[in-house]
Structure 1
Amino acid sequence: MSFSLGLLCRQCCHSVLSPRPALVRDFSSTPILALRRTRKIPVLSKKALAAKARKRAAKARKHIYENEKMTLESAIDVIRAVEVAKANATYELVIKTAMSRGSIIPKGRIALHRETKARPEDRILVFAEGRQADEARSAGAHIVGGIELADGIVSGKHHATTILCSTALIRAITPKLGRVLGPRGLMPSERRGTVTDDFAGYLRRLSGTTEWKGDKNGVIRMPIGKLHFPIEDVVKNIKQFVAAVKRVTGNQKDAEEKGKSKSVKPVNAITRVMLSSTQAPSIQISDI
């Protein structure tokens, strides 16, 4: 005799004593390859990549002193106000460049609109022989000779602020002096114009100019004027010097260079230009 208790399961609504229905699993007949379709990554154009880079740069965190920039004339006014008790103070211009590994230390010569101090006397050493040696002596070179001068430079006997070399002797002196003069920025090179056969013309251009040079980190410091100078003279000196640095570092090209090459990248990008004095703070310039 069978009987039912009348109890129902709350989950399946069947009697407790009745057997549960078997579970049935449905399988999909969709091909596996159809489920594994990969999304193609679109190839962006140069214009789209540039716009993406601009958006990323706009969202990037700015430098802590980004909002403390001043125009050149405003920075000069602030420095003059701070240095009111010292009329003979010196303006110093600091230019920071992004020195990448293997970059050449920026270096050059300039004749400013108004010199800050008397130019130091240059001591010229020239590697030349024969008629070229006589021309170098008559042009005002202090030390003139052939390959024998290399040993004196290595030993410290000969000291010079500028070293020139003729095209005939450059291969002979490079193995001896490359490691000695290279780190000091004195090794003759064709790019700098110190490997030449026109010694008279080079020494003529050398006279009346001041040498400037960056350090190993790419920081260039230059006394650019005195506090008692008129503001117009200080502005001319700063703009003239910044333009010279831009040409040497590859950030600005002359008209002749623009026609020759179109895709030459800057050697060292200028990241910051700051003006200061003896007691005044260093102020970042925004309009240079």
Structure 2
Amino acid sequence: MSSLLSLCRQCCFPTLTRANPSFQRQFTTTQILLAGKRQKQSKIRVPSKKAAAAKARRKAALVAKSVDRSEFLTLADAISVLRAVEVASPNSTLDLYVKTDIKNGVAVPKGRVNLPREAKAMSEDKILVFAEGRQAEEAKKAGAHFVGGPELVDGVINNRFKATTILCTPDLIRAITPRLGRVLGPLGLMPSERRGTVTDDIAGYIQRIRGTSEWRADKTGNIHMPIALMNFPVEDMLKNIRHFMASVKRVTGNTKEAEDSRKAKNSGAKPVTNIAKVMLSSRQGPGIRITDY
């Protein structure tokens, strides 16, 4: 009788069953995990240093194979082509472009050179020296523009002393590094023993760099240098190019002496920075890759 009444109640009063959640069947959407089975966790495979180096070599070999060597010219032929293009502009500049492969943690290539025949008037090199006592007097006599001790630090940070070369004696390098390291480091101007700008022979260093111009690669390893004028004799152009490339090879470790020192055991030679590309170009001419540099 009670079941009949409940059936009648559901038939006669359907709205009550919809309104009352106790009459509705509850469903669940949770996933049922089978007992004894575990979810597999995906693992990221990190290649070893040896495998990564092998992959880099394969990639470099593919790139080298894809380069069309027929588009390369010798220095003399490239100069002849660009001079023909610039025949109406004999005062235009011949530009040299060098691409280096900078590795992580290696400083950008940077050096000084004195070309046999300058392509443009050299700008005056502003020299700032951190020195005291006798060494400060020697720096002033040698031609340094700004000489002083740690009191010059604020002027360097505020850009009051605009120097292109900064030298320091070993006695003061620890006093200036905490404040100037993060300011001059990214600019490549921070004195360091490796570059020879931390030295006791301040006067001798100034004497050596007098009459030279600085070249520097950018953050990606590209070096741009105006190397000659189109009205220069071909012999002068070749001398300038070879003289500049000798400086680049010496800084990047691509000389025969650097190779011999790397082969020697326990030599402590610095790693080589490969020269990937050398090109000549002009204002209206194309960029021509060089074979004999």
TM range (shorter): 0.7 to 0.9
Tell me, yes or no, if structure 1 residue 157 matches structure 2 residue 160. yes
Q: What root-mean-square deviation, in Å, do the aligned CA atoms of Structure 1 and Structure 2 show?
A: 2.4
Spell out, residue by residue over 1:231-282, the C-alpha distance to the aligned partner (whole angstroms, 9 max, x if none).
0110111011111101101111548x94697364643110000000111100
1:89 to 88, 92, 97: 92
TM-score, normalized by length of structure 1? 0.76
Match of 1:124 in 2: 127
How far does residue 66 in structure 1 lie from its aligned partner after superposition?
3.6
Distance of 2:262 and 2:117 partners within structure 1: 33
1:276 to 2:278 alignment: no
User: How many Å apart are 1:70 and its aligned residue?
Assistant: 0.6
In structure 2, the CA distance between the partners of 1:58 and 1:146, relative to structure 1 (3 Å rule), is closer
Distance in 1 between residues matched to 2:105 and 2:242, nearest whole Å: 28
Q: Which runs of 5+ in 1 are unaligned?
A: 1-49
Cα 1:75–1:60 change in 2 (3 A) is closer
Moved over 3 A (4+): 53-61, 63-66, 257-261, 263-267
Kept in 2: contact 1:90–1:226 (CA 8 A): yes
Q: For 2:132 and 2:57, how far apart are their aligned partners in 1?
A: 57
Residue by residue, what CA displacement relative to the aligned partner does 1:117-156 show, whole Å, maximum 9, x if unpaired? 1110011100000111111011111100001111111122
* Deviations 1:1-31, CA, capped at 9 Å, x for gaps: xxxxxxxxxxxxxxxxxxxxxxxxxxxxxxx
Partner of 1:15: none
Does structure 1 residue 267 correspond to structure 2 residue 269?
no
In 1, the alpha carbon distance for the partners of 2:145 and 2:249 equals 32
Amino acid paired to 2:164? T
| Structure 2, gaps ≥5 residues long | 1-53
Number of residue equivalences: 236
Matches within 5 A, 1:1-288: 62-254=65-257, 258=260, 262=264, 264=269, 266-288=271-293
Question: Which residue matches 1:22?
Answer: none
CA distance in 2, matches of 1:223, 1:217: 19
Is the alpha carbon distance of 1:261 and 1:209 closer, same or farther for their aligned partners in structure 2, counting shifts above 3 Å?
farther
Q: Percent identity?
A: 59
Structure 2 vs 1, CA of residues 154 and 245 (structure 1 numbering), >3 Å: closer, same or farther?
Answer: same
User: Take 1:55 and 1:127, find their aligned partners in 2: how far apart are those partners?
Assistant: 49
Residues 55 and 191 of structure 1: is their aligned pair in 2 closer, same or farther, counting only changes over 3 Å? closer
Select the structure that is richer in helix: 2
